[in-house]
Chains A and B, each alone.
Chain A
Amino acid sequence: MKLGRSVKGIAIAAVATLTLAACAEESGIVENTSVTAAWNQAFYSFNQNTTNGNATANANILYLTQQSFNYYNDDLELIPNTDFGTYELVSEDPLTVKYTIKDGVTWSDGVAVDAVDMLLHWAALSGNFNQGEAEYDAETGQIIPSDDVYFDTVAIGTGIELVTQTPEIGDDGRSLTLIYDEILVDWETIFTSAGLPAHIIAQRALDIEDAQEAKDAVLAAIQNADGAALKPIADFWNTEFDHVSMPSDPGIVVGNGAYIVTDFVQDQYITLTARTEGYVAGPQPSIETITVRFIPDPLASVQALANGEVDITLPQATTDVLEAAQQLSGVTILNEPESVYEHVDLVFNGEGPFSAAAYGGNEETAKLVRQAFLTALDVNEVIDRLIKPLQPNAEWNQSQIFLPGSPGYDEAIAANGSEAYGQGDADGAAALLEQAGVATPIDVCFLYGSNNTRRVNEYQLYAEQVSQAGFNLVDCGSETWGSLLGSGTYDASLFAWQSTSTAVTASEATFRSNGGNNFTGYNNPAVDALYDELKVTFDADRQREILIEVETILWDDAYGITVFQFPGITIHNSDLGNIKPSPLSPQFFWNYWEWTAPADAE
C-alpha cells in the first residue's frame, strides 16, 4: 500500500524527531555519535554533597555535567584540570589554598562561574553556618523544617569544616582563598569544584530575577552571616536538587561540565548531550550524547549489550557474567580490579590468641603466634581458586596502604616485608609456634560475612590451610558481621575496605591507636608518631617514605594480611574506542572526552 505524500511527510518528520540531533558547530563533537552505558542504580540527585545524594550513581552523571579542579586518571594519579581553573598552596602553616576559576568558564546557561559559586560551595560543605543540630522527623526520617540554617552536608569530617574564616574573594571575583585552622596534607582532594550554581539557587530561594543580583545576594548573605537569607538557600540546596525524573525547572540541570542532562525518565535512563556553546572548562568530548540506562541485573546488562541496547557495562563480576560476555562477538572485555580489597585482620586487644594479654602480657609470644598464623595462610590458593576464574591476571595485593597500580605501590611492596607471609608455609608456621612455646591447637574465632558466598569459600580454604600449622579456625561467620566489627567477640576478621581516594592520610583512621576504623585494638606508638609526622608533611616523597615505614611496621607486627582486590569486569562494544576503566569512582567514565564511537548511519 502506498502512503500519500502528506503521510510520508509526517512520517519523515516523526522519524526526524527520533534521531534529530543538535547541530554541532564547534569542532570536537562528532554528530550523531552516542554511547549508552548501563549502571546498576538510578540517578537521583543533582547534588552529591548532601547526606542523601552522596552515591556513585549520582557521582558518575555529575562527573559529566560538572567540572572540577582535578580528577583521577586510571593510574590513580590526581591530574589538575587547568582549563577549569588553578589552585595553589599559598602557605603550609596556616594551610592556605587559593583557587582561581579560569576566565571564560561559564555555566550552561551562560552565566560565568566565579568565586561566589565557590564561596557557596564552601559554606554548604563546611556546615559553618549550621545552627543547632538537625532534627529528623521520627516518622519520615526527613529533616524537620526549623528556623535554623542547616546545610545537610556529607563533607563534615573531610577537613573542609576546618575552614572557619569566611574565605577571601580576589582576582575580579574569580578566586577564593581558603585558610584552614589545621594543617591537612590532603588539601588537594578536600575542595575540588565550584559546586552548584549559586545564581540558580539564589534566584529561586530568594526570589530574585537577575543572575548577577542573585550572586550578590549570596555573597552578602555569606559575608554577613545573614541567617534569614541563608536559611532558604540552605533549604533549597538540601532538597531541591533531588529528582528522579527530568526536573520541570531547567535551572536544576545547569552545570559547568561538558554535558548537560537533556532527558531523564524515572528508573529507566538519563541522557546527557554535549554542550555545543561556551564549554571551555575541560577537554572537548567527541561523543554527542551519552545515555546511562539503569539496569540492576548484571546478566541483563550483558544481554542488553549483546542486543545492542547498551554499549558499555560494568556488571558485578561473576563467572556467569564473564562466560556470557566471552561468548559475544564484537565486544571487548577489560579486567580492571575495583578499589575494594579483601583483608584478614588479627585482633590485638581482648584475650584472644593474638593478644599479648593471652600470654600474660608477653608481646613477643603474641607476635610469634600472629606471624605463625599469617605464615600458614596461603593467599595464592585463594586467588587461584576464587579470583582468577574472573580475572586471569589477578595478583596478591601486598600492601596495607597503597592500592595496587597507584603511585608508591611497587616501592612499598619491595620494602614492606610482606613476602614472608601468605605462602601457605605450614612448617614455618609450626616452627614459629614452637618458638613461641604455646600449646596447639589454637582456637581462632574467625569473623566473616556468612551471607557472602565468596567469603564462605575463603573461610573454608583458610581453615584448611591453618589447620596444618596447629590452628583451629572456629566459624564465627555472621550475617551482621558489620555491626560486630570492633566488638571484641572474635579473634580474626575477614572483610574488605573500600578506598574512595588515594588520600595520603586515608589509612590513619585504620592503623592509628585511636583511629575511627581501628577495629583490632592495634596500638603502636611508632605508627602513631609516623602519622603525626605525616599530617604535617607536604613533601610527596617524604609522605611516601613515611607510609612505607608504617607498612613495614604493620607487616612486622603481623597486623594482618591483605589478600586481593575485588575483580571488576568492564565490557564494551568494540566500536567504542579509548575505554580505560579506573578502579576509583567514576570508573570507566573518567576519560569520557577521549571516547570515540562511530556515528549512527542515517
Chain B
Amino acid sequence: MLAFIARRLMIAAGVLIAASYIFYLLAASSGDPLEDLRASTQRNREQLVELRTAELQLDVNPALRYFTWAGGAAKCLIGQCDLGEDWRTGQPVTTMLGSAMGSTLQLIGFASIFAIVVGVAVGIVSALRQYTGFDYGVTFAAFLMYSLPSFFVAVLLKQWGAIGFNDFLRDPVIPIPALLVIGAVAGIIVGSALSGSWPRKIAIGGTFGLATAAILGALSATGWFLDPRLGPVVILVFGLGSAYFVTFIAAGLNNKRALYTGLAVAVIGAIAWFPLQEAFRFATVWMVLGVLAGLIAIGMVIGKLAGGPDNRVQMRVGGLTALPVFGLLFVDYLMSWWERYSNSSTIGGRPIATVGSQTPQLAGSGYWVETLDTFTHLILPVTAIVLISLAGYTRYARASLLEVMNLDYIRTARAKGLNERTVVMRHAFRNALIPLATIIPLDIAALIGGAVITETIFGWNGMGRLFVESLRLVNLDPLMGYFLVTGILLLIGNILADILYAVLDPRIRVE
C-alpha cells in the first residue's frame, strides 16, 4: 500500500509540473495585460506601458518566464512559498488563496453535505420504489435540474427565493389556493414514496398533505414567518420523531433498548431547552460546538448505560439522535433572533440576500446575528449548487443500490428470513456506498475550483471568482496559484478515491 501511494504521489507531482507549464503558456496567451493602457488617452501612457512591462516582465517569453514563477513556487517545498502577487493590488497570492479558499470551503462544505445526504437518501428511496411514480418523478426532476444551466438557476433563485420571498414577508399570509396546492404536492410526494397498497398510500399521503396545509395555514395566520419560534413542545415532538426514525434506520424498531435510548435523548433535549435559553445568550462558535459534543456524549452514555448484549448499536442510536435534537435547539434559538435581525434598519425587512457573503455594518453584532446573516447569504448559492449536484448523487445512489439489491447474497439474506430493513440497511446499503465513496472526493475537489458561475453571480469571493477575475485581467500569478491549489486537490482527490475503494472493498488490491 505504501509503495502504491508513493508511486501515485510521484506520478501526480510529474503531472502537476507538466500541467502547470502548459497552463502557464495558455494563461499567458489568453489576453493582453496592457489592454487597458492601449486605448487610454492619458498623457503618460507610454511611461505606464513601460512600467508595467518591466513589472510583469512582458518582454520575456512566457516559455521562459514560467521558470521565474516555478522558482518561487518550488520554495513551497522548503516552507517559504513565494507564489508572486496580484500586480494590480499588490496582494500576495498566498493571502488571496487563503481568503478565497475560506469562502469557497464554507459554500462547498454546506452544499456538499446537503447534496450528499439528500441525494443519497432520495436515490435509495427511489431505488427501493423502482418504476413507481416516485421513481419516475425523482428521475425527471433530477435530470431537469441537471440540465438547467447554473446561471439560469441562480437568477431564478434570486428572483423567487430572495426578491419574491422578501416581498412575501411584507405581508406573510399564504392564500388558501396556494395552501391547497402545497398540501397536494406534499401529499403526492409522500404517498408515492410509500410502499404498500393504494388505499394505504392515499390515506397516509392525504393525511400528510392535509396536515402540511393546515400547519402552514396556522403559521401564516399567526404571523409566524415574521417571528418564528419552535418552543420546547415542538422540539420534543420532532425530537421523538427523529428518535423513531434514527432507530428505524440504524437499529430497527424491534430493538427496544435502542429506541428508548433515542427517546431519552429527545426528552433530554427538550428539557435542555430551558437552561439553554440563558446559556445561548453568551454563545460563541466553540460553545455551540461544545453543546453539540455534549449532547452526542450524553446520547452515547445513555446507550451504554441501557446495557444489553449489543450496546454499540444503542450508543450509535443515542449519538445519532443527538444530531437532529441539537439542530432543533439551535434553529429554535436562532429563530428567536429572526424578527430583530429582519427588522433592523440595515436589513429593512428583506432578510434573504442575493449577493455577497455578509450584510454591511452587521459585523460585531454578536454570534446569533452574524450566524443568521451568514445563513441568509448562504441559502441561495448553496441551493443553486445543491440543485445541480443533487442529481448526480441521486442517480449514482439509485443505480448502485439497484445493482447490489440484485446480487445473490441479498437473495440469501432474504431467504434466511432477515427482515427487509436489515437486508437493505445492513447488507445492501453499505456496499452500495462503495462507488459513491470514490466519486465524492473527486466531486468535491472539482467543485472547489469549479463553482465559477455560482460564485460570480452571487458575489461570493471564492476560488472560482479568483480564477475568472484573474483570467480577465491576465493576472498570471493568481491564476497559477489557483491552478496549483485546484490541481493538487484534484490529484489528491483522485488518489484518495483509489485508496478509499481499496479500503472499503477488500476484493480490490492496490499493489
Indicate if the CB atoms of A263 and B38 lie closer than 8 Å: no
Indicate if the CB atoms of B361 and A15 lie closer than 8 Å: no
Q: Is A538's beta carbon under 8 Å from chain B?
A: no
Instruction: Compute how far the CA of A483 lies from the CA of B32 in the bound complex, rounded to whole angstroms.
Output: 8
Indicate if the CB atoms of B465 and A296 lie closer than 8 Å: yes
| Chain B, 10-43, CB within 8 A of any chain A CB | 31-32, 34-35, 38-43
Chain B: which residue is nearest A508 at the CB level? B43
Contact residue among B41, B46, B90, B345 (Cβ-Cβ distance under 8 Å from A18): B345
Q: A11-B340, A483-B32 are in contact. Are A157 and B44 (CB under 8 A)?
A: yes
| B337: chain A residues within 8 A (beta carbon) | 11
Q: Is A36's beta carbon under 8 Å from chain B?
A: yes
Q: Is A570's beta carbon under 8 Å from chain B?
A: no
Q: A52-B87, A140-B82, A509-B41 are in contact. Are A303 and B358 (CB under 8 A)?
A: no
Min CB distance, B363 to chain A, in Å? 7
Q: Is B353's beta carbon under 8 Å from chain A?
A: yes
Indicate if the CB atoms of B369 and A18 lie closer than 8 Å: yes
Q: Is A81's beta carbon under 8 Å from chain B?
A: no
| Chain B, 61-112, CB within 8 A of any chain A CB | 68-69, 71-72, 82, 84-85, 87-91, 99
Q: A263-B360, A516-B45 are in contact. Are A19 and B344 (CB under 8 A)?
A: yes
Q: Is A361's beta carbon under 8 Å from chain B?
A: no
Min CB distance, A454 to chain B, in Å? 14
| B465: chain A residues within 8 A (beta carbon) | 296
Min CB distance, A310 to chain B, in Å? 8
Q: A52-B87, A482-B32 are in contact. Are A19 and B354 (CB under 8 A)?
A: no
Min CB distance, A76 to chain B, in Å? 14
Q: Is B346's beta carbon under 8 Å from chain A?
A: yes
Contact residue among B51, B461, B469 (Cβ-Cβ distance under 8 Å from A51): B51
Indicate if the CB atoms of A158 and B459 lie closer than 8 Å: no
Indicate if the CB atoms of B459 and A271 lie closer than 8 Å: no
Instruction: Compute how far the CA of A600 lies from the CA of B344 in the bound complex, rounded to whole angstroms.
Output: 10
Contact residue among A15, A303, A506 (Cβ-Cβ distance under 8 Å from B41): A506
Indicate if the CB atoms of B456 and A297 lie closer than 8 Å: yes
Interface string of B328-370 (1 = CB under 8 A from A): 0000000011001000111010101111111011111110010
Indicate if the CB atoms of B469 and A296 lie closer than 8 Å: yes
Min CB distance, A360 to chain B, in Å? 33
Q: Is A541's beta carbon under 8 Å from chain B?
A: no
Indicate if the CB atoms of B84 and A1 lie closer than 8 Å: no
Which residue, A32, A157, A263, A291, has most C-beta atoms of chain B within 10 A? A157
Q: Is B229's beta carbon under 8 Å from chain A?
A: yes
Contact residue among A157, A244, A303 (Cβ-Cβ distance under 8 Å from B155): A303
Indicate if the CB atoms of B360 and A269 lie closer than 8 Å: yes
Q: Is A85's beta carbon under 8 Å from chain B?
A: no
Indicate if the CB atoms of B44 and A300 lie closer than 8 Å: no
| Chain B, 265-289, CB within 8 A of any chain A CB | 277, 281
Indicate if the CB atoms of A267 and B91 lie closer than 8 Å: no
Q: Is B55's beta carbon under 8 Å from chain A?
A: yes
Q: Is A293's beta carbon under 8 Å from chain B?
A: yes
Interface string of B139-169 (1 = CB under 8 A from A): 0000000000000000100110011001000
Instruction: Compute how far the CA of A145 lies from the CA of B182 in the bound complex, rounded to whole angstroms.
Output: 67
| A483: chain B residues within 8 A (beta carbon) | 32, 34, 38
Min CB distance, B107 to chain A, in Å? 13
Contact residue among B360, B365, B457, B469 (Cβ-Cβ distance under 8 Å from A36): B360
Q: Is B174's beta carbon under 8 Å from chain A?
A: no
Indicate if the CB atoms of B39 and A497 lie closer than 8 Å: yes
| Chain A, 270-311, CB within 8 A of any chain B CB | 271, 289, 291, 293-297, 299-301, 303-304, 306-309
Q: Is B135's beta carbon under 8 Å from chain A?
A: no
Indicate if the CB atoms of B356 and A295 lie closer than 8 Å: yes
| B38: chain A residues within 8 A (beta carbon) | 482-483, 485, 495
Give the total of A residues in contact with B, Cβ under 8 Å: 80
Tell me the total A-B contact number using a CB cutoff of 8 A: 211
Instruction: Compute how far the CA of A307 lies from the CA of B91 in the bound complex, rounded to whole angstroms.
Output: 32
| A303: chain B residues within 8 A (beta carbon) | 155, 158-159, 162-163, 354-355
Contact residue among B35, B85, B352 (Cβ-Cβ distance under 8 Å from A140): B85
Indicate if the CB atoms of A601 and B345 lie closer than 8 Å: yes
Q: Is A559's beta carbon under 8 Å from chain B?
A: no
| B85: chain A residues within 8 A (beta carbon) | 140-142
Q: Is B231's beta carbon under 8 Å from chain A?
A: yes
Indicate if the CB atoms of A52 and B354 lie closer than 8 Å: no
Q: Is A357's beta carbon under 8 Å from chain B?
A: no
Indicate if the CB atoms of B52 and A268 lie closer than 8 Å: no
| B42: chain A residues within 8 A (beta carbon) | 158, 500
| B356: chain A residues within 8 A (beta carbon) | 268-269, 293, 295, 309
Q: A52-B88, A244-B89 are in contact. Are A291 and B360 (CB under 8 A)?
A: yes
Chain B: which residue is nearest A269 at the CB level? B360
Indicate if the CB atoms of B43 and A505 lie closer than 8 Å: yes
Interface string of B460-491 (1 = CB under 8 A from A): 01000100010000000100000000000000
Interface string of A366-392 (1 = CB under 8 A from B): 000000000000000000000000000
Indicate if the CB atoms of A19 and B346 lie closer than 8 Å: yes
Q: Is B57's beta carbon under 8 Å from chain A?
A: yes
Q: Is A228's beta carbon under 8 Å from chain B?
A: no
Indicate if the CB atoms of B44 and A158 lie closer than 8 Å: yes
| A268: chain B residues within 8 A (beta carbon) | 356-358, 360, 461
Min CB distance, B310 to chain A, in Å? 41
Q: Is A596's beta carbon under 8 Å from chain B?
A: no
Chain B: which residue is nearest A601 at the CB level? B345
Indicate if the CB atoms of B346 and A482 lie closer than 8 Å: no
| B360: chain A residues within 8 A (beta carbon) | 36, 263, 265, 268-269, 271, 291, 293
Instruction: Compute how far the CA of A186 lies from the CA of B45 in the bound complex, rounded to whole angstroms.
Output: 16
Contact residue among A295, A307, A498 (Cβ-Cβ distance under 8 Å from B350): A307
Indicate if the CB atoms of A307 and B163 lie closer than 8 Å: yes
Instruction: Compute how far the CA of A309 lies from the CA of B47 in the bound complex, rounded to whole angstroms.
Output: 41
Contact residue among B82, B340, B345, B353 (Cβ-Cβ distance under 8 Å from A32): B345
Indicate if the CB atoms of A307 and B458 lie closer than 8 Å: no
User: Known contacts A138-B57, A142-B85, A303-B159; can you find 16 more A-B pairs with CB under 8 A?
Assistant: A1-B229, A136-B55, A139-B82, A141-B56, A154-B48, A157-B44, A244-B89, A265-B360, A268-B360, A271-B360, A271-B361, A289-B361, A293-B355, A293-B459, A307-B163, A340-B39
Ordered nearest first, which 8 A-B pairs have the shortest CB separation? A157-B44, A267-B461, A482-B38, A600-B345, A44-B89, A157-B47, A139-B72, A19-B345
B residues at A contact (CB < 8 Å): 31-32, 34-35, 38-48, 51-52, 54-57, 68-69, 71-72, 82, 84-85, 87-91, 99, 155, 158-159, 162-163, 166, 229, 231, 277, 281, 336-337, 340, 344-346, 348, 350, 352-358, 360-366, 369, 456-459, 461, 465, 469, 477
